[in-house]
Amino acid sequence: MNCFAKFLSGRIASFAHALRGLGEAIRTQTNARIHMVASTLVVALGLGLGISALEWAAVISAIALVWMAELLNTAIEILCDIIQPEYSEKVKRAKDVAAAAVLAAAIGAALIGALVFLPYLTG
């Protein structure tokens, strides 16, 4: 196998791993399913309202940020449960902080959504 073919097969495998992880999160995490529904509704609203390219950039960035936070939170929770299966106050605190990152991203996304969509819906 030449260098390019090896490189390409490695990238394909990386995408497969990432998609498997996304599927795992959606299958096992209620909040990931909520984010999936919210993301779909926001994209449909943006398409329906005909938002501008710059507004799409803000909306897509907000959606990506929430998904990144949710997926990292899920990974942290899984690792914490492996490392410390019994209850631990320190593990609880780590999980709470990771969950707070998702909350912060979601609040930011909601504010961006309000800035983008309210003028279309009220004017």
Residue positions annotated with a catalytic role: 70
How far apart CA 55 and CA 32 sit, in angstroms, is 24
Q: What is the DSSP letter of 86?
A: S
Q: Rounding to the nearest 10 degrees, give the CA dihedral for residues 115, 43, 19, 107.
A: 20
Contacts of 42 (CB under 8 A, 6+ apart): 59, 63, 113
Nearest to 91 by CA among 79, 106, 100, 80: 80
